Structure 1
């Protein structure tokens, strides 16, 4: 009997010791880009070289988003006779070897290379908790000559562009198709509206009228997308504010803003080219997995950046607090931007010349977001966006 009591006691001690020592999973920040192109569509580099660049430059996740295509099946790329691309092929071959690279020459002695599929090249780069590649697509559609592009992240099959009889209808049809895809496969998928000012195709009214959409690009690193707008069109950042004013007033979910590269060009660098490394998102998630990343994004637990990195970002008790991971001899302006109820216009509520600041929301405010502007010049800017920035997601007052 005493032996039985001792045994039961030992079991209880082991059980509660294990329970007590069970590690608590802490959320981490993961850096990623959700808009990237390769030889599978109109990019000018092999997927392996692109993934290697992102992984080597501190990114934890990347989505290859070629136009209306997934990296699957057989595709051969004819290498341009331009010396830049001939040299790039030689570097590719020397890096990966003849056991990996499959190529041939056509009747004109042009080099043709079989592109590696998503399932092939991901084996070279993916590592648990270190680097993740999300299968994705840029659904490329249009209306009356206007380009309408929507990225679908973490897809399981190619999604065909749906068309429509207006800009709004084209967008909504494609968003609805992504939603069907998500339901069909029971997997986390997000869609985001790309570069609305590209060709000034997507107006504010179209964005406001959308249903069931939470993401768009407040910054896109392609030199032709008009982030800053012009005399006749507002910037994408100001569009973001007006969208959220309308969404909140119409009881829609908040619209969240992404920064992306939209990279196409990997051999020529400068303001004329669409290069890697211009814009990204930082997602606070418990694991580096599609489900965890997408769930965090849907909850607004991420920020967009073109260079500014945050040490802290919290929203507790209606207080939005940020702290920048500051560089030496660099100054920062932290702006809290939002809109008061029944005002209809965004405004800067407060700003601080500091690397740390907080702002308390009040009942009369529809929402508040934070923009951090650095005095550090962007290494490779586009348009007039010369300095590094970061944008937090909008938050609302709660009782």
Structure 2
């Protein structure tokens, strides 16, 4: 499926860089005109009569793989808490066949089963085999038909392609790629390096999208899980526009450590290299739950409600949401809400939807032309290089400005390659993935005046 960068205007005046087929984008997003452009046009992300903010999570696990609850109970948890969409992404499986499981051997056991019966008393199917009570796991189509609410709540079928690379030096490195709105199950594609495994799985999803005509979303999960993915691997992937800058699982090392880069630093290195050197498109940052544990919240496990995306789209359908995400019409959050994000050839401005009693720090981050591009390997205590992102100059992903308040604007100086923003609240996250996390939001990068024209 070929895609070209394009400038488009909606009836509401919203403009955005589209990286999806022009005709499809025009039909789905209701855009008036399509004008080829190499530069990123002005964009205003704000709810109006044509566009709404939709809150959603695109990384979720259930009893179909290693989660400890049922699809329908998980979906109800999100729906009851004001989410508009949820993508189920169990490991290497789709919930599209009939499956019976022994209740007491599920990860949720009797606790999850009793909750299921209480919430859906006329829905649960059980049987006894060899003296063991079993329950039928409801298929995705059954659960979505029961719980979807038109214009308010949508379930999306997905799969987490859970692959790995067996490195002779670093052991088995876990490499997980999510496919959203997938049409049929895919098998992990494998490869002879970390980058090749990622690329092969991304290609597999995109080939299914091209073959079926169904709009799908592919993204790299938790790069610091098992310290598997370096910025040097991710920066070269073709056809991949998203990765998880925030993942709510407490074991994925979002903040890195003294030897290894945080996910935000990885993002800035990837952006700088892709835009300034490789001439590849922007990589967007997602916030997700990666939920596995739905009982006894909070319990310092991998629980729901920690990270999400806010997508500005004309309607609540999988196609509309994914096209809006691919156009950068969203922000990621772990608790901070935004009213408006504006970008133009002059700069980037942000308006927060404040919570009484909270204060906010808005930090604009980017890389300027003339940065030092050289990275050096990080050495371990044994004197050998670690499998981790190289160390680069602080000129890459530097703090361009920091503002205290509910709104801020950054005006381009003329030498920026890109600018993005991180907003941090004074309020601690109520159930953080790492102790001491504050509530945050991540605004997607915009191209600066020094960004070279991009290939797509």
TM-score by length of 2: 0.79
Q: How far off is 1:398 after superposition? A: 5.3
Counterpart secondary structure, 1:374: strand
Query: Measured at CA, do residues 204 and 385 of structure 1 come closer, stay the same or move farther in structure 2, by a change above 3 Å?
Result: farther
Q: Which one of the candidate residues 126, 137, 159 is aligned to 1:115?
A: 137
Counterpart secondary structure, 1:209: coil
Counterpart secondary structure, 1:246: helix
Paired with 1:362 and 1:36, the residues of 2 have a C-alpha distance of 41
Q: How far off is 1:84 after superposition? A: 7.0
Q: Which one of the candidate residues 374, 383, 391 is aligned to 2:434?
A: 383
Q: Which one of the candidate residues 268, 272, 278 is aligned to 2:296?
A: 268
Aligned to 1:371: 422
Q: Note the 1:71-82 alignment, pairs <5 A.
A: 71-80=95-104
Aligned to 1:147: 174
Paired with 1:264 and 1:334, the residues of 2 have a C-alpha distance of 32
Aligned to 2:62: 38
Counterpart secondary structure, 2:104: coil
Aligned to 1:66: 90
8 Å CA contact 1:271–1:383 kept in 2: the answer is no
Q: How far off is 1:329 after superposition? A: 1.3
Aligned to 1:324: 352
Aligned to 1:346: 397
Paired with 2:106 and 2:314, the residues of 1 have a C-alpha distance of 46
Counterpart secondary structure, 2:286: strand
Q: Which one of the candidate residues 116, 122, 127 is aligned to 1:104?
A: 127
* Pairing 1:309–2:337 present: yes
* Pairing 1:170–2:197 present: yes
8 Å CA contact 2:236–2:274 kept in 1: the answer is no
RCO greater where, 1 or 2, for CA within 8 Å and sep 6 or more? Answer: 2
Aligned to 2:390: none
Paired with 1:271 and 1:259, the residues of 2 have a C-alpha distance of 20
8 Å CA contact 2:70–2:112 kept in 1: the answer is no
Q: How far off is 1:139 after superposition? A: 0.5
RMSD, matched Cα: 1.7
Paired with 1:187 and 1:385, the residues of 2 have a C-alpha distance of 41
Paired with 2:299 and 2:260, the residues of 1 have a C-alpha distance of 21
Counterpart secondary structure, 1:274: coil
Aligned to 1:205: 232
Counterpart secondary structure, 1:44: coil
8 Å CA contact 2:57–2:85 kept in 1: the answer is yes
* Pairing 1:125–2:147 present: yes
Range moving further from structure 2, 86-95 or 206-215? 86-95
Q: How far off is 1:80 after superposition? A: 2.7
Residue segments in structure 1 that go unaligned for 5+ positions in a row: 1-23
Paired with 2:299 and 2:274, the residues of 1 have a C-alpha distance of 34
Q: How far off is 1:68 after superposition? A: 0.4
Query: Measured at CA, do residues 60 and 369 of structure 1 come closer, stay the same or move farther in structure 2, by a change above 3 Å?
Result: same
Q: How far off is 1:112 after superposition? A: 1.4
Counterpart secondary structure, 1:243: helix
Range moving further from structure 2, 263-272 or 230-239? 263-272
Counterpart secondary structure, 1:38: coil
Q: How far off is 1:385 after superposition? A: 5.1
TM-score by length of 1: 0.90
Paired with 1:89 and 1:222, the residues of 2 have a C-alpha distance of 24
Q: How far off is 1:383 after superposition? A: 2.1
Q: Which one of the candidate residues 188, 192, 196 is aligned to 1:161?
A: 188
Q: Note the 1:225-236 alignment, pairs <5 A.
A: 225-236=252-263
Aligned to 1:15: none
Alpha-carbon displacement from aligned partner over 1:261-309 (angstroms, at most 9, x marks no partner): 0000001334631000000000011111112111111111100000000
8 Å CA contact 1:228–1:384 kept in 2: the answer is no
Counterpart secondary structure, 1:191: strand
Q: Which one of the candidate residues 410, 422, 437 is aligned to 1:359?
A: 410
8 Å CA contact 1:334–1:372 kept in 2: the answer is yes
Paired with 1:83 and 1:141, the residues of 2 have a C-alpha distance of 22
Q: How far off is 1:82 after superposition? A: 9.6
Aligned to 1:137: 159
Aligned to 2:251: 224
* Pairing 1:190–2:227 present: no
Paired with 1:245 and 1:83, the residues of 2 have a C-alpha distance of 42
Paired with 1:289 and 1:159, the residues of 2 have a C-alpha distance of 22
